[in-house]
C-alpha cells in the first residue's frame, strides 16, 4: 500500500528526547516499511526514517525558540498533504483535529489516531472545535489506543482500538539481579512519583526514579519530590534515560511502579517494563487493565497500601512469561498489522466521500 504517516512536529521522529507520540509514529512507520509498504512520513526535517521523509520544518518545533505561530506550520503541513493526497491509498494522521474538516471533503481514505485523553469538554476547549469540526469528529474514522480512552466520547466513529507497540528487540531482559523498585516517566503529579516513593518506603524497597522534569512540573519537583528524596537515602533520582539505558535499568528492578491517578490512554512504560521481563505494579486507572494481566505480568492495585502489599507477591511471577506476553501482544509488528486491517477496510469502501453508512467499526472484523 501507499501510506502517508502524518506526525506531530513538536519532536523529531523518533524524538531526540521525550516524546511518546513521535516514538510510536516512528515504530509504526519503520514496521510498515519493513513489511514492504511504500510510506511517506510528514514530519520535522531532523527526523530519521526508512520511509521517504517529507520535511515540514527544519527542526522539531520544541527546539525552535524563535517560533511563535506553530498553528501556521501545521496548516502548511496539512496543505502539503492535501496537495499530495492522490499519491496515497490511505492517509494516517496523528495530529488530533487539525485535518478533519478539510479531509472529510475529499475522496482519499484517511484516519486519525487520537493519542490523548478524550474528556469531551476538555477536547472541545483544547482543540477549539467549531460546530463543523465537532460534526466531523463524530463521523471521521478514528482509532483509539485503548477501549478506556473512548469512554468519555463513545459515540464517535471509532474504527478500531489499536494498542501501541514497540520493536521486539528494542528492549530485552538483562541477566542482572533485581535490587530496587523503578519509576520511569515524567516527574508530574498525575504520573504518581510521590506515590511511588511512599510505596517503596512502605514496602522497604530502594527506589530509583528515571524521569524528566518539564518546566511546568519544576515547582512540583522542587516543593514535593526534592524534600522526600533529600530525607531518604534509599530514594535516588537518576534523571531522564534513553533506550540504551532502559534494559539494564528495568531488568534490575523488582518491579516498575506505575501509580497513576488519571485515565492514561495507554502508558508505554508498562510495555517497556514487560519487554524486559519486569512486572508492573499499577493503579487501576485508564488503560491499565487492558495492558496488565493481573497476576501474570504484574498486579493491579487500588492504593499505596495494596501496592506495597503486592511487593510480597512478586516472586510468584515468571519473568519469562512476562516477556512472552509482551511479544504476543505489544510488538510494533502487531500494531502495524492491526493498522493495516483498518487501512484495508477503508480502501475497500465504495462510498468513502462522507457516506459511511454507519460506523466504520461495523466493517472491521473482531471489533
Q: How far apart are the first and last CA of the chain?
A: 23
For residue range 80-100, list pLDDT tens digits in order.
999 999 999 999 999 988 888
pLDDT at 131 over 90: no
pLDDT at 159 over 90: yes
Question: In the structure, what pLDDT confidence band is assigned to residue 358 with cuts at 50, 70 and 90?
Answer: very low
Whole-number average pLDDT of the chain: 89
- Predicted confidence at residue 203, as pLDDT, reads 97
pLDDT at 18 over 80: no
For residue range 266-306, list pLDDT tens digits in order.
999 999 999 999 999 999 999 999 999 999 999 999 999 99
Neighbours of 179 (CB within 10 A): 11
Cβ(146)–Cβ(117) under 8 Å?
Answer: no
Q: How many helices (H) and strands (E) does the chain have?
A: 15, 13
- Predicted confidence at residue 155, as pLDDT, reads 81
For residue range 208-239, list pLDDT tens digits in order.
999 988 888 899 999 999 999 998 999 999 99
Domain positions in the chain: 2-166+333-363, 180-329
Q: What is the CATH number of domain 180-329?
A: 3.40.50.2000
Fold agreement (2-166+333-363, 180-329): yes
* 3-state SS, residue 206: coil
| Superfamily of the domain at 2-166+333-363 | Glycogen Phosphorylase B; (3.40.50.2000)
Which range has the worst mean pLDDT, 25-29, 148-152, 277-281, 346-350? 346-350
* 3-state SS, residue 239: coil
Which range has the worst mean pLDDT, 32-36, 241-245, 303-307? 241-245
CA distances for 125 relative to 49, 71, 128, angstroms: 34, 16, 5
- Going by the DSSP 8-state scheme, the letter that residue 189 receives in this structure is G
Question: In the structure, what pLDDT confidence band is assigned to residue 124 with cuts at 50, 70 and 90?
Answer: low
Amino acid at each position: 500500500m501507499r501510506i502517508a504517516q502524518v506526525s506531530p512536529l513538536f519532536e523529531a521522529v523518533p524524538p531526540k528526547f521525550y516524546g511518546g507520540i513521535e516514538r510510536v509514529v516512528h515504530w509504526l512507520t519503520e514496521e510498515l516499511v519493513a513489511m514492504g509498504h511504500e510510506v511517506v512520513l510528514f514530519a520535522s526535517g531532523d527526523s530519521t526514517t526508512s520511509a521517504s521523509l517529507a520535511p515540514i520544518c527544519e527542526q522539531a518545533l520544541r527546539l525552535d525558540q524563535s517560533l511563535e505561530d506553530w498553528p501556521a506550520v501545521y496548516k502548511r503541513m496539512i496543505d502539503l498533504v492535501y496537495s499530495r493526497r492522490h499519491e496515497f491509498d490511505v492517509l494516517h494522521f496523528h495530529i488530533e483535529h487539525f485535518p478533519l474538516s478539510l479531509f472529510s471533503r475529499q475522496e482519499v481514505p484517511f484516519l486519525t489516531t487520537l493519542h490523548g485523553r478524550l474528556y469531551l469538554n476538555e477536547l472541545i476547549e483544547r482543540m477549539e472545535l467549531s460546530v463543523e469540526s465537532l460534526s466531523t469528529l463524530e463521523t471521521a474514522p478514528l482509532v483509539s489506543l485503548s477501549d478506556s480512552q473512548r469512554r468519555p466520547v463513545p459515540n464517535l466513529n471509532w474504527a478500531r482500538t489499536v494498542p501501541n507497540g514497540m520493536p521486539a528487540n528494542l528492549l530485552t531482559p538483562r541477566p542482572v539481579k533485581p535490587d530496587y523498585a523503578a519509576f520511569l516517566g515524567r516527574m508530574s503529579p498525575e504520573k504518581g512519583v510521590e506515590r511511588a516513593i511512599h510505596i517503596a518506603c512502605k514496602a522497604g524497597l530502594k527506589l530509583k526514579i528515571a524521569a524528566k522534569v518539564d518546566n511546568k512540573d519544576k515547582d512540583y519537583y522542587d516543593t514535593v519530590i526534592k524534600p522526600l528524596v533529600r530525607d531518604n537515602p534509599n530514594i535516588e533520582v537518576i534523571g531522564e534515560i534513553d533506550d540504551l539505558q532502559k534494559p539494564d535499568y528495568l531488568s534490575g528492578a523488582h518491579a516498575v511502579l506505575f501509580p497513576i491517578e488519571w485515565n492514561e490512554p495507554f502508558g508505554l512504560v508498562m510495555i517497556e517494563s514487560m519487554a524486559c521481563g519486569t512486572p508492573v505494579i499499577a493503579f487501576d486507572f485508564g488503560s491499565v487493565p487492558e495492558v496488565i494481566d493481573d497476576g501474570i505480568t504484574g498486579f493491579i492495585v487500588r492504593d499505596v497500601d495494596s501496592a506495597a502489599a503486592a511487593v510480597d507477591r512478586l516472586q510468584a511471577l515468571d519473568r519469562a512469561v512476562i516477556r512472552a506476553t509482551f511479544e504476543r501482544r505489544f510488538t510494533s509488528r502487531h500494531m502495524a498489522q492491526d493498522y493495516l486491517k483498518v487501512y484495508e477496510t477503508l480502501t475497500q469502501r465504495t462510498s468513502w466521500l462522507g457516506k459511511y453508512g454507519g460506523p466504520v467499526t461495523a466493517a472491521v472484523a473482531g471489533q
